[in-house]
């Protein structure tokens, strides 16, 4: 009885009593949801074009942010550092496709997946070897990202909007819009969609698979860099960040592996869900700290009912 | 291919024999250093190991070692991983290791039962098992200069002295592992006695950099003070989040692992006012540190950058080395030998005296609270001070605050009894 | 030449379907067992036994567990670390409750608990597979890690939040705790691993094992031929988790001596997956080879790389850099093996065997 009350009554009483807190929670959920979406987007890009489930996407986020900060530490101006980092990500994309993906063409998916775990290890250790393992501060101000906050008075309390969070949402939206334009309006983008639809057919009309893959891995690298900058601005650049990036997996399950809108909606659902759940249910009933598994359990339950995700193609092999 | 493999194996075998020459000779003292310059907590591990090694190297350069015996410090990388920690322990203990300083609660817990068997003491300086402070129950484990429980009681005393603790609500944000949860029994005990209310905010290891929900909860609970038991990437994130919800920074106080330069530098101005407890002095304005700079850092024999010398964790590693060095001296004195063993090191750890006069003598006047080692008490005085971040660096802002020994001691005894009761054949000692 | 089976006639079906049909194989296995049981404990020092051989055996056992699931049944799992944890915590609770019972009983019994947990988290595999299963097993991993922290009963309300292995005996010999000698711990570990490997090889070549492989190779065909996916998949999860659970209990009780949640984190799941990939999916021998490479190679690199670089080049490499280099090497090896030899070291061994058979002729 007590438990039922804790589940069904008390959370809503708190929500009603403290509307500012609820709004703040929703806003925080929205912001972290956008970032989850961004990370998931990187997965989707590569999965769509090459069928590779790129486990290394999470570490690419850290690696990109680390490279940026590392290059900047040599006294390179921030914007030049961004360009150089993009160069490094392009080089990484080229190397991965040339050295790992191309020889593994036509292997079972699971082999390709495992090879990306291998890449993860190389990037984690290589990143630490080159840049050192200690946490670093993100060069937020040098990049021209806003700091500070605005308040909004509501229901006897305030909701605080961090400018960096607003910027994160705007940048994420711009990036997604940019990618959509790129896919729909450019020649490469169309070739990319052709590859995603059917490898063989794309090959037979003269599209170079290797070129497309490099482009896709590079696009995933750009997304990773963006996600890395925005996330690291909230905390710092450190290897612990890659665990957070694993959150993209449940996001993908919710949204479907091949759907870009799915990644966005899935990210938002996880973002809202875990903040609301932890604050209103997790802390009073389970003692808190539920954020580490909430998303995964939701994904697990979701899989039992709708394995293809919200927007995914119904291609999952079921038995 | 096969030929290459055989050649490679031969090369490895040759190299293996070369390595033997580095192992300690007759007149050296061997000190293993379990470092973690990689992994999730590398930001803390690097400076600690640097300070630890540099002090011994300074003694080698300046005094020719201790009592004429050179000190050999060998690093073994654990990446804060308990399995690699055990590997390092097994690999180095045969070289005549004097004592182990694991700098990880997980590794410490594994070494505590091994210490009496291998007769090598464990010095877990300000971490590990609080109960190890009870010397009678844990003859081989030391946690100078204070246990977590002593520290928490000192922090509460500080809060009490700065605005009072009665009727206040204290938030306790902690890393959700054994380390973070350790002070909870003390909070439970002191809350009714001192008349405050406390709320816990656990942060999972995976959520160290994703604390949004935790701080929403802090906002909901509206505590008057926040105490943090954090480590690594958790600290800067927590302080940034606290700044975001406009928690008053001067009411936010970290423990001694949540108050390093590496924790606050990523936060910068936003963390201005944040406090932390500590037991090792800040800066290089001590003769001993000047010697370290002169003999080791400027001579290019350190892994540390010059600007990192004197920072909080560097000095903590250095202080660890000071305790080790003093215990070695005491062990040498009581045994009459230059090259001592783990057993004599243990005696040294129970008998060294690091009082004001001695601190001044070794060039660390005012660096820390004096410690008088004893058989009964393996945590020493336990006094800490509070430091505050001014946006650029740490400054000491309080005098030494001794713990509430009367409250902490019974708890320590109780915990030690519980540990011993679960072990069969646990060797205790009686202190005369 | 060395592996010639000419002249070895089989007169019964039993002999024909034996585990080691060729005399040389039989001799080899007895030879290796003799080395493992007699020579290694005699000549191996404490470091070799305690820091190399025991972990190697523990990881080999866990790799067998994962291989049953991934290599034989085709269900990929990233929850190995947590299933090992379930075994360790179960063993700890049981031996605290009944201190006088032979610890070996509990080491085996702890597998039952992790088997139950494994079956529970294996349920989604009935509807999904592949990457989706990666996500659900990661869910198991993260949820169990949280539970290990949040349920203080599991670690007996210790203030340290860790399980501390008490001293326990089996057959009058001290087996666990700090006073247990490395030789005893090694021999116990070896015995358990040998028995369980033998058991696994029998399960795999038996009816259950063949149904797993049918599911792996083509589930629809398997179903048409009368294999029930429900039973096949859940039994694979159960047996796999049983092995992981026992491996976890061995890890904490015979090797580490104390463990926090960190000892069962998701990195271990990866580590063991690597062992399986590198050793060879669907090969018991591969589990041992993979565990040897992933565990022992970094130990060698960490011990020898700094002095080699020191003596042969003007550079100095620190212990931590050597550690990172060994991580990179493992990553590179995974990728190289996947490209050059997806069937892992076990396949390499088969090739060597074939070469030995026809030597001195090329084929």
Please write the tens of the pLDDT for every residue from C84-106.
Answer: 999 999 999 999 888 888 889 99
pLDDT at residue B172 tops 70: yes
Mean pLDDT of C275-289: 90
Both structure tokens of C88? 């360790």
User: pLDDT at position B388, please?
Assistant: 94
Work out the number of other CB atoms within 10 angstroms of the CB of residue B335. Answer: 16
Report the domain count for chain C: 1
At B24, is the pLDDT very low, low, confident or very high (cuts 50, 70, 90)?
A: very low
Structural domain harbouring C156: 21-265
CA distances from B396 to B404, C154, C354 (A): 21, 41, 72
Alpha-carbon gap, residue A115 to C338, rounded angstroms: 7
Asked, for residue C100, whether it belongs to a domain, the answer is yes
- Cβ distance of C161 and B181 shorter than 8 Å: yes
- Name all chains with 3 or more CB-CB pairs below 8 Å to chain C: A, B
Taking a contact as any Cβ pair under 8 Å apart, which residues of chain B between 206 and 225 contact chain A?
Answer: 206-210, 212-214, 216-217, 219-220
DSSP code, position C261: G
Fold for B148-278+385-411, please state it. Rossmann fold (3.40.50)
- Cβ distance of A125 and C327 shorter than 8 Å: yes
DSSP code, position C167: P
Global ipTM: 0.84
CATH level 2 (architecture), domain B26-146+283-382: 3-Layer(aba) Sandwich (3.40)
DSSP code, position C263: G
Mean pLDDT for chain A overall: 84
Q: Chain C closest CA to B36's CA: distance in Å?
A: 7
User: pLDDT at position C214, please?
Assistant: 92
Give just the sign of the alpha carbon dihedral A14, A19, A23, A24: negative
Both structure tokens of A239? 């290897």
Nearest residue of A to residue B208, measured between CA atoms = A240
Nearest residue of A to residue C276, measured between CA atoms = A114
Q: Cα angle vertex C126, ends C124, C130, to 5°?
A: 75
pLDDT tens profile B93-130: 888 889 999 888 888 888 988 888 889 999 998 888 88
Alpha-carbon gap, residue C135 to A300, rounded angstroms: 7
- Name all chains with 3 or more CB-CB pairs below 8 Å to chain B: A, C
Q: Cα angle vertex C223, ends C218, C226, to 5°?
A: 130
pLDDT at residue B19 tops 60: no
**Least CB–CB distance from C324: residue in B38, B90, B418:** B38
CB B375 within 8 A of CB B382: no
Both structure tokens of A111? 């082999």
CA distances from C312 to B190, B302, C111, C132, C315 (A): 60, 22, 49, 49, 9
User: pLDDT at position A312, please?
Assistant: 61
pLDDT at residue B22 tops 60: no
Mean pLDDT of C336-344: 86
CB B385 within 8 A of CB B398: yes
pLDDT tens profile A185-206: 888 888 888 887 787 888 888 8
- Cβ distance of B244 and A25 shorter than 8 Å: no
Asked, for residue C318, whether it belongs to a domain, the answer is no
Asked, for residue C66, whether it belongs to a domain, the answer is yes
pLDDT tens profile C114-158: 999 999 988 888 877 777 788 888 888 988 988 888 888 888 887
User: pLDDT at position B308, please?
Assistant: 87
Strand partners, B174: B202, B229
Q: Cα angle vertex A145, ends A143, A149, to 5°?
A: 155
Does B20 touch chain C if contact means CB atoms closer than 8 Å? no
What residues of chain A lie within 8 A of the CB of C322, using their CB?
none
Place of tokens 């946006």: B391
CA distances from A240 to A231, A243, B40, B43, C78 (A): 12, 6, 5, 11, 19
Both structure tokens of C262? 């960190």
- Cβ distance of C164 and B16 shorter than 8 Å: no
What residues of chain A lie within 8 A of the CB of C136, using their CB?
296, 299-300, 303
DSSP code, position C109: H
DSSP code, position B377: B
What's the per-residue H, E or C state across chain A? CHHHHHHHCHHHHHHHHCHHHHHHHHHHHHHHHHHHHHHHHHHHHHHHHHCCCCCCHHHHHHHHHHHHHHHHHCCCCHHHHHHHHHHHHHHHHHHHHHHHHCCCCCCCHHHHHHHHHHHHHHHHHHHHHHHCCCCECCCCCCCCCCCCEEEEEECCEEEEEEHHHHHHHHHHHHHHHHHHHHHHHCHHHHHHHHHHHCHHHHHHCCCCHHHHHHHHHHHHHHHHHHHHHHHHHHCCECCCHHHHHCCHHHHHHHHCCCCHHHHHHHHHHHHHHHHHHHHHHHHHHHCCCCHHHHHHHHHHHHHHHCCCCCCCCCCCCCC
At C245, is the pLDDT very low, low, confident or very high (cuts 50, 70, 90)?
A: very high
Work out the number of other CB atoms within 10 angstroms of the CB of residue B64. Answer: 12
**Least CB–CB distance from C135: residue in A107, A117, A250:** A250
pLDDT tens profile A221-274: 999 999 999 888 877 787 777 777 788 888 888 887 777 888 888 889 898 888
pLDDT at residue A153 tops 90: no
- Cβ distance of B42 and A133 shorter than 8 Å: yes
Mean pLDDT for chain B overall: 86
Instruction: Compute chain B's Rg from CA coordinates.
Output: 22
Mean pLDDT of A108-127: 87
User: pLDDT at position B14, please?
Assistant: 44
What residues of chain A lie within 8 A of the CB of B216, using their CB?
21, 24-25, 28, 275, 279
pLDDT at residue A317 tops 60: no
Mean pLDDT of B292-316: 89
Asked, for residue C302, whether it belongs to a domain, the answer is no
pLDDT at residue A142 tops 60: yes
DSSP code, position B95: G
Q: What are phi and psi of B7, to 5 degrees?
A: -60, -45
Mean pLDDT of B57-76: 89
Mean pLDDT of A8-19: 79
- CATH 1.10.3470 assigned to domain A2-305? The reply is yes
Give percent of chain A above pLDDT 70: 96
Taking a contact as any Cβ pair under 8 Å apart, which residues of chain C between 69 and 108 contact chain B?
Answer: 96, 99
User: pLDDT at position B223, please?
Assistant: 92
Domain boundaries, chain B: 26-146+283-382, 148-278+385-411
């Amino acid at each position: 009885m007590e438990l039922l009350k804790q589940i069904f009554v008390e959370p809503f009483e708190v929500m009603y009593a403290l509307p500012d807190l609820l709004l703040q929670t929703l806003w925080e959920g929205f912001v972290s949801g956008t970032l989850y979406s961004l990370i998931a987007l990187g997965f989707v890009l590569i999965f769509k074009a090459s069928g590779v489930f790129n486990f290394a996407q999470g570490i690419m986020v850290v690696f990109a942010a680390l490279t940026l900060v590392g290059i900047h530490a040599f006294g390179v101006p921030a914007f030049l550092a961004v360009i150089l980092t993009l160069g490094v990500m392009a080089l990484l994309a080229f190397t991965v496709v040339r050295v790992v993906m191309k020889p593994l063409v036509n292997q079972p998916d699971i082999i390709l997946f495992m090879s990306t775990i291998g890449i993860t290890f190389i990037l984690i250790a290589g990143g630490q070897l080159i840049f050192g393992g200690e946490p670093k501060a993100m060069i937020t101000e040098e990049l021209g990202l806003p700091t500070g906050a605005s308040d909004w008075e509501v229901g006897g309390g305030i909701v605080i909007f961090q400018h960096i969070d607003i910027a994160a949402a705007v940048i994420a939206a711009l990036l997604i819009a940019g990618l959509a334009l790129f896919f729909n309006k450019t020649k490469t983008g169309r070739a990319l969609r052709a590859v995603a639809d059917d490898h063989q057919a794309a090959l037979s009309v003269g599209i170079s698979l290797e070129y497309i893959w490099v482009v896709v891995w590079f696009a995933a690298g750009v997304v990773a860099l963006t996600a890395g900058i925005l996330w690291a601005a909230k905390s710092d650049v450190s290897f612990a960040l890659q665990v957070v990036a694993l959150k993209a997996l449940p996001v993908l399950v919710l949204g479907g592996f091949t759907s870009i809108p799915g990644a966005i909606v899935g990210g938002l659902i996880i973002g809202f869900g875990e903040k609301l759940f932890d604050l209103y249910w997790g802390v009073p009933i389970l003692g808190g700290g539920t954020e580490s598994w909430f998303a995964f359990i939701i994904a697990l339950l979701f899989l039992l009912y709708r394995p293809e995700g919200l927007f995914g193609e119904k291609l999952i092999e079921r038995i | 291919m096969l030929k290459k493999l055989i050649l490679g194996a031969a090369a490895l075998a040759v190299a293996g024999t070369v390595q033997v020459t580095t192992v300690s000779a007759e007149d050296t003292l061997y000190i293993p250093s379990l470092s973690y310059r990689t992994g999730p907590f590398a930001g803390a591990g690097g400076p600690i190991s640097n300070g630890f090694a540099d002090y011994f190297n300074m003694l080698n350069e300046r005094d020719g070692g201790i009592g004429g015996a050179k000190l050999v410090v060998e690093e073994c990388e654990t990446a804060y991983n308990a399995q690699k920690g055990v590997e390092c322990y097994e690999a180095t203990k045969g070289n005549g290791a004097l004592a182990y300083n694991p700098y990880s609660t997980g590794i410490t817990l594994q070494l505590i039962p091994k210490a009496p068997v291998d007769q090598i003491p464990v010095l877990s300086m300000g971490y590990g098992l609080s109960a190890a402070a009870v010397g009678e129950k844990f003859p081989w484990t030391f946690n100078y200069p204070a246990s977590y429980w002593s520290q928490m009681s000192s922090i509460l005393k500080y809060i009490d002295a700065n605005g009072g603790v009665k009727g206040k609500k204290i938030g306790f944000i902690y890393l959700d592992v054994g380390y973070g949860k350790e002070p909870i029994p003390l909070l439970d005990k002191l809350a009714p006695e001192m008349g405050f209310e406390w709320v816990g905010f656990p942060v999972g290891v995976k959520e160290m950099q994703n604390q949004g929900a935790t701080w929403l909860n802090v906002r909901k609970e509206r505590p008057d003070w926040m105490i943090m038991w954090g480590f690594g990437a958790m600290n800067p994130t927590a302080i940034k989040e606290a700044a975001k919800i406009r928690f008053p920074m001067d009411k936010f106080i970290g423990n001694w692992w949540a108050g390093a330069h590496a924790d606050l530098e990523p936060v910068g101005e936003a963390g201005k006012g944040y406090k932390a407890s500590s037991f090792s002095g800040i800066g290089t304005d001590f003769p001993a540190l000047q010697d370290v700079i002169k003999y080791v850092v400027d001579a290019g024999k350190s892994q540390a950058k010059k600007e990192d010398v004197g920072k909080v964790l560097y000095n903590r590693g250095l202080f660890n080395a000071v305790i080790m060095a003093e215990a070695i001296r005491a062990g040498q004195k009581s045994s009459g030998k230059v090259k001592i063993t783990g057993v004599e090191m243990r005696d040294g750890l129970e008998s060294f005296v690091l009082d004001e006069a001695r601190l001044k003598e070794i060039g660390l006047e005012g660096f820390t609270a004096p410690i008088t080692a004893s058989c009964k008490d393996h945590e020493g005085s336990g006094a800490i001070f509070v430091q505050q971040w001014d946006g650029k660096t740490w400054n000491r802002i309080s005098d030494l605050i001794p713990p509430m020994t009367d409250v902490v001691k019974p708890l320590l005894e109780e915990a030690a009894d519980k540990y011993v009761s679960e072990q069969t054949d646990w060797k205790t000692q009686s202190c005369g | 030449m060395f592996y010639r089976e000419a002249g070895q006639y089989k007169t019964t079906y039993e002999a024909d379907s034996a585990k080691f049909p060729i005399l040389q194989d039989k001799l080899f296995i007895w030879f290796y067992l003799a080395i493992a049981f007699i020579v290694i404990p005699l000549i191996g020092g404490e470091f070799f036994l305690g820091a190399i051989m025991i972990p190697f055996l523990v990881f080999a056992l866990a790799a067998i567990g994962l291989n049953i699931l991934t290599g034989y049944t085709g269900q990929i799992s990233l929850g190995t670390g947590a299933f090992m944890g379930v075994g360790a915590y179960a063993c700890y609770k049981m031996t605290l409750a009944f201190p006088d019972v032979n610890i070996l009983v509990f080491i085996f019994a702890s597998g039952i608990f992790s088997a139950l947990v494994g079956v529970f988290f294996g349920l989604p595999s009935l509807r999904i597979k592949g990457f989706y299963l990666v996500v659900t097993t990661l869910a198991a991993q993260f949820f169990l890690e949280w539970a290990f922290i949040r349920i203080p009963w599991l670690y007996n309300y210790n203030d340290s939040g860790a399980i501390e292995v008490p001293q326990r005996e089996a057959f009058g010999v001290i087996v666990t705790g700090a006073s247990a000698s490395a030789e005893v711990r090694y021999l116990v570990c070896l015995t358990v691993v040998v028995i369980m490997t033998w058991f696994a090889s029998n399960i795999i070549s038996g009816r259950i094992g063949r149904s797993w492989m049918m599911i792996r190779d083509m589930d629809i065909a398997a179903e048409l031929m009368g294999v029930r996916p429900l039973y096949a998949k859940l039994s694979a999860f159960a047996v796999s988790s049983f092995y992981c659970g026992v491996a976890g209990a061995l890890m904490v009780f015979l090797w580490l001596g104390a463990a926090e949640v960190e000892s069962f984190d998701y990195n271990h799941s990866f580590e063991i997956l690597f062992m399986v990939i590198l050793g060879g999916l669907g090969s018991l021998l591969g589990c041992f080879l993979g565990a040897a490479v992933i565990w022992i190679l970094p130990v060698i690199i960490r011990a020898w790389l700094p002095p080699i670089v020191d003596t042969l080049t003007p550079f100095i490499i620190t212990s931590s850099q050597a550690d990172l280099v060994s991580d990179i090497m493992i990553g590179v090896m995974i990728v190289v093996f996947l490209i050059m030899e997806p069937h892992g070291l076990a396949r390499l061994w088969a090739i060597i065997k074939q070469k030995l058979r026809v030597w001195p002729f090329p084929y």
